[in-house]
Amino acid sequence: MAFVLRRLLHASIVLLATGFISFVIIRYVGDPVNNMVGQTATLAEREAMHRALGLDDPAAAQFLRFLGNVLSGNLGVSYRYGEPVAKLIRERAPASLELSLSAMLLAAGLGIPLGVWTAIDKGSLLTRILLALSVVGVALPTFLVGIVLILVFAVNLGWLPAFGRGAVTDLGGWTTGLLTVSGLKALVLPSLTLGLFQMTLIMRLVRAEVSQVMRASFITFAVSRGVPRRSIYFRHALGNALLPVITIVALQFGNLFAFSIIVETVFQWPGLGLLVIQAIQFADVPVLSAYLVLVSGVFALLNLLVDILSPAIDPRLRDASHQGRAA
C-alpha cells in the first residue's frame, strides 16, 4: 500500500513538473495578446486583452490558474484554428486511437504466433528468414516503411488509398472508419507501418520467453506424460511466456504515441500526431503545451499502472530492460 502511495506521489511530482514547463512555454513564448487580437487591434484593445487574460497578476497566481484550467479541461485556444484545444483533441483522438489499436492488434496477432514458431522450429527456413528480417527491421526508419508501402500498394498497384481516413461515420462524438469499406481500406497501410516494428519487438520477446520456458522441468514432465505437442506449446508454454510480454507491450503503448506522429504525417491521417506536427510548423503554442501535458499525463498513468500491476504479476519484472528504437 505504501508502495502504491509512493508511486502516486512520484507521478504527481512528474505531472507538476511538466505542467510547470508547459505553463512557462504557453505564457512566455511568443506574445499571447498578439495572437489573440490580431494585427489591427488598437493599444486600448491590447491592454484590455492583457487584463482579461490576467497577465498582470503575479506569476504564481497565473500558474495556479493554469493548473486549475488544465484540471477542469480548459487547455487554451489554438492560435491556428481559433478553437479550444480540448475540442481539437477530442475530435482527433478517435482517429489516433483506432490507428494505434489496430496496429497493436496486428503486431500481437502476427508477432505472438511468429515468435512461438521461431522458438519451436529453430532450424527451419522460415525461422531464419524471420530472424534476418528482424535484424534489418531495427534499422528501418518508420517513415521509409510507410513510403515504400505507399509506393507499392497505392501508386503501383492501386489497391489501397495512400492518405486520409476514407469515409467515417459519426457515432455521437466518436468518428469511426471501421464501418465503411473505404475507411477500412484506409486503415490497412498505416496500421501495417505503425505495427511493423512493434511486431518485430513482440516476436523477439515471445521467442526469448518461450525458449526459456520450454527448458523448464514442467514442460519435460508434460511431454513425458504424453500431453499432445500442440497443447504443450499453446497452453503450457505460451501461457507462462505471455506474462512479461504483456507488461512490455503495455509499456510500448507509450512508444505508439511517438511513432504515430510519423505514421500520421506520412499518411496524412487526421489524428493527434498530425495535429502536433502542424502545431510545430505553425508555432501554435497552446496546442504544443497542451500536448506536453497530455503526453506526460498518459505516460505517468501508464507507468503507474505498470508499476503497480507488474510486481503483482511477475516479480522478475521489477527491472525490465527497455528495448529502445529510433524511428
Partner 1 sequence: MRLEILKAPVAFWSALVLACLCIAAFGAPLLAPYDAFDPGSANVADARLPPGSHGLFGDSYPLGTDPQGRDLLSAMMYGLRTSLAVGFGSVALAALMGVTLGLLSGYFGGILDAVVMRIADIQLSLPPILVALLIDGVTLAMLDRARYDLLAVPTLILAISTSLWVQFARTVRARTQIEKNKDYVLAARISGVGMFRVLTAHILPNVGVPALVIATVNLAVAILVEATLSFLGVGVPATQPSLGTLVRIGNEFLFSGDWWMSILPGGLLVAVALSINLLGDWLRDRLDPTTRTP
Q: What is the closest distance, in whole angstroms, from the C-beta atom of residue 282 to partner 1 in the complex?
A: 9
Q: What is the closest distance, in whole angstroms, from the C-beta atom of residue 13 to partner 1 in the complex?
A: 9
* CB closer to partner 1, 180 vs 278: 278
Closest CA to 161 of 169, 171, 153, 152: 153
Spell out a b/e string for 113-130, using b for 16 or more CB atoms within 10 Å of the CB, else e: ebbbbbbbeeeeeebeeb
Helix 272-281 with 285-313: angle, nearest 10 deg: 140
* CB closer to partner 1, 94 vs 286: 286
* CB closer to partner 1, 14 vs 317: 14
Whether 246 contacts 258, CB under 8 Å? no
Whether 194 contacts 248, CB under 8 Å? no
**Which residues contact partner 1 (rule: CB under 8 A)?**
14, 25, 29-30, 135-136, 138-144, 147-148, 150-151, 155-156, 162, 204-205, 207-208, 251, 254-255, 257-259, 261-262, 265-266, 276-277, 279-281, 283-285, 288, 292, 295, 299, 302-303, 321-327
Q: What is the closest distance, in whole angstroms, from the C-beta atom of residue 220 to partner 1 in the complex?
A: 22
User: CB-based contacts of 158: which residues, under 8 Å, 6+ apart?
Assistant: none
Place of cell 486600448: 44
> What is the pairing mode between strands 174-176 and 169-171?
antiparallel
Q: Of all helices (H) and strands (E), which one includes residue 59? A: helix 59-71
* CB closer to partner 1, 152 vs 179: 152
Q: What is the closest distance, in whole angstroms, from the C-beta atom of residue 53 to partner 1 in the complex?
A: 19
Q: What is the closest distance, in whole angstroms, from the C-beta atom of residue 125 to partner 1 in the complex?
A: 19
Q: What is the closest distance, in whole angstroms, from the C-beta atom of residue 36 to partner 1 in the complex?
A: 16
Closest CA to 190 of 261, 267, 253: 267
Q: What is the closest distance, in whole angstroms, from the C-beta atom of residue 172 to partner 1 in the complex?
A: 32
CA atoms of 252 and 265, how far apart (whole Å)? 20
CA atoms of 104 and 94, how far apart (whole Å)? 15
* CB closer to partner 1, 60 vs 155: 155
* CB closer to partner 1, 100 vs 142: 142
Whether 260 contacts 273, CB under 8 Å? yes
User: CB-based contacts of 280: which residues, under 8 Å, 6+ apart?
Assistant: 288
* CB closer to partner 1, 75 vs 288: 288
